Structure 1
Amino acid sequence: MSLEGKVAIVTGSGRNIGRSIALALAKDGADVIVHARSNQSEVKSVVSEVSALGRKSLGLLADMGDRVAVEKMMSDALGEFGRVDIVVNNAAIRPHKSFIDMEYEDWRNVLATDLDASFLTTKAALPGMIERKWGRVVNFSGLQAYQGRHGGAHISAAKVGVIGLTRALGTELAPQGILVNCIVPGMIDTSREEHTGARPPGRLDSIPVGRPGDPDEIASLCLFLCSDANGFITGQTVHANGGERNF
Structure 2
Amino acid sequence: MKKKYDKIALITGANRGIGKSILKKIIKKNIYVIGTSKTLLGVKKIKKLVNKSGTGILINFLNIQNTKKKLYEIIKKFNTIDILIHNSGVIQDNLLINMSEKNWNDVILINLNSCFYLTKFLIPNMIKKKWGRIIFISSVNAYQGNIGQTNYSASKAGMIGFMKSLALEVARFGITANSIAPGYIKTNMTKKILKNIKNNINQIPIKNFGTVKDISNMVLFLISKKSTYITGQTIHINGGMLML
The TM-score with structure 1 as length reference comes to 0.91
2:10 is the counterpart of 1:9: yes
Partner of 2:43: 43
Whether the 8 Å contact between 1:7 and 1:32 is mirrored in structure 2 is yes
Find the residue that maps to 1:60 and give its secondary structure: strand
**Count of residue correspondences:** 241
Instruction: From 121, 124, 127, give the equivalent of 1:127.
Output: 124
Pair 1:206–1:67, CA change in 2 (3 A):
same
Find the residue that maps to 1:192 and give its secondary structure: coil
Whether the 8 Å contact between 2:46 and 2:55 is mirrored in structure 1 is no
Whether the 8 Å contact between 1:185 and 1:240 is mirrored in structure 2 is yes
Whether the 8 Å contact between 2:140 and 2:236 is mirrored in structure 1 is no
Shift of 1:30: 0.8
Q: Deviations over 1:22-63 (max 9, x none)?
A: 11111111101111111x233222322222xx62x1211121
Partner of 2:24: 23
Percent sequence identity over aligned pairs: 32
CA distance in 2, matches of 1:189, 1:105: 27
CA distance in 2, matches of 1:33, 1:59: 6
Instruction: From 162, 166, 169, give the equivalent of 2:163.
Output: 166
Instruction: From 209, 230, 234, give the equivalent of 1:233.
Output: 230
Unaligned runs of 5+ in 1: none
Shift of 1:196: 4.5
CA distance in 2, matches of 1:85, 1:108: 30
Pair 1:29–1:173, CA change in 2 (3 A):
same
2:140 is the counterpart of 1:143: yes
After superposition, where does 1:162-241 map in structure 2 within 5 Å? 162-197=159-194, 199-241=196-238
Shift of 1:113: 0.7
Shift of 1:4: 4.2
Whether the 8 Å contact between 1:138 and 1:182 is mirrored in structure 2 is yes
Q: Deviations over 1:221-240 (max 9, x none)?
A: 01111222210000001001
Whether the 8 Å contact between 1:12 and 1:90 is mirrored in structure 2 is yes
Shift of 1:171: 1.2
CA distance in 1, matches of 2:227, 2:100: 42
Q: Specify the code of the residue in structure 1 equivalent to 2:26.
A: L
Shift of 1:111: 0.9
Q: Specify the code of the residue in structure 2 equivalent to 1:82.
A: N
Find the residue that maps to 2:75 and give its secondary structure: helix
2:83 is the counterpart of 1:101: no
Partner of 1:111: 108
CA distance in 2, matches of 1:153, 1:82: 38
Pair 1:198–1:129, CA change in 2 (3 A):
farther
Whether the 8 Å contact between 1:115 and 1:161 is mirrored in structure 2 is yes
CA distance in 2, matches of 1:85, 1:6: 6
Q: Specify the code of the residue in structure 2 equivalent to 1:111.
A: I
Partner of 2:154: 157
| Root-mean-square deviation over aligned CA pairs | 1.8
Q: Deviations over 1:106-144 (max 9, x none)?
A: 322111111010111111101100000001110111122
More deviation in 124-133 or 135-144?
135-144
Shift of 1:68: 1.4
Q: Which runs of 4+ in 1 moved over 6 A?
A: none
Unaligned runs of 5+ in 2: none
Q: Specify the code of the residue in structure 2 equivalent to 1:42.
A: G
Whether the 8 Å contact between 2:184 and 2:194 is mirrored in structure 1 is no
